Homo-oligomer: A and B are copies of this chain.
Amino acid sequence: METAPPHDGCPVTRTLDLIGERWSLLIIRDIFYGVRRFDALQHHLGISKKVLSCRLARLLQGGILKKVPYQQKPERFEYRLTQKGRDLFPVLLTMMRWGNRWLAEKNESHLHLKHLGCGEVAEPKLVCSHCEKPLSPASVRAETSNSSG
């Protein structure tokens, strides 16, 4: 990768505009964990209620979360991931792998993922969906395609 495509319109820029604020990805991670209610999120994350309510509103508006009622009188609901939100799983997984590889501290408990398919600890690996070979910075070139004008 040697030429720099524009910053605006880059899918990474757009992604971070939506989920790049402080706490957003941690909220999404917690919902993957099954922490789905306002109070539970607030306590598990140690986030202020105001910021939590702002972030949830943004993620709802962005189509990443949806509200699902779990009781009436008073009406209460929990936050669930949409398909769009669930599709952020690879982002969290690659961050988790990176954190485990580069930021893990000795003498501390270690969070890892067990792959239920094969029973092993899953080391996520990125491959090309066409040829199934690993993707590295050197093996890939960024290209801009004009889909119309």
Cβ B102 vs Cβ A116 within 8 A? no
In-complex Cβ contact of A7 among B10, B45, B139, B143 (8 A): B45
**Chain B nearest CB: distance from A68 CB in Å?**
16
**Chain B nearest CB: distance from A136 CB in Å?**
7
CA distance A33 to B1 in the complex (A): 5
Residue of B nearest to A47 (CB): B7
Give chain B residues whose Cβ lies under 8 Å from the Cβ of A127. 124-125, 127
List the interface of chain A (C-beta within 8 A of B). 1-5, 7, 9-16, 18, 20-22, 25-26, 29-30, 32-35, 44-46, 63, 84, 86-104, 106-118, 120, 122-133, 135-137, 139-149
